[in-house]
Amino acid sequence: MTPGLIFFGTRSVTMSYKKGDYVCPDCGPTQYNWKRQRRFFTLYFIPLIPLDLLNEYVECQGCKSTWDTSILDSQGAIES
Ligand SMILES: [Zn+2]
């Protein structure tokens, strides 16, 4: 019997954490998309187990600028 090949590894996956309204320093009142990039353990290229958080940022839906997530603290972001 020969053991089958098992493909496993890690890969980073970016996903939307939450969205809401905020005031962009560049383009004014608009919507943000809070994104989180997390490393996943993959098996056969399918992300299975979430590992450490690599990065998180806020992307402006108006001008596509990216900001540190602390930008939402400063203005009491409206949750959606
Ligand atoms: Zn903007």
31 CA to centre of ligand 1 in angstroms = 8
43 CA to centre of ligand 1 in angstroms = 38
Q: What percent of the chain has a predicted confidence (pLDDT) above 90?
A: 80
Give residue-wise pLDDT tens across range 47-75: 999 999 999 999 999 999 999 999 998 77
Angstrom distance (rounded) from CA 28 to CA 47: 37
* DSSP letter (8 states) at residue 7: -
11 CA to centre of ligand 1 in angstroms = 29
Angstrom distance (rounded) from CA 15 to CA 75: 23
Helix (H) or strand (E) holding 74: none
Q: What is the pTM of this model?
A: 0.75
30 CA to centre of ligand 1 in angstroms = 7
> Residue 79: which pLDDT band, with cuts at 50, 70 and 90?
low
13 CA to centre of ligand 1 in angstroms = 24
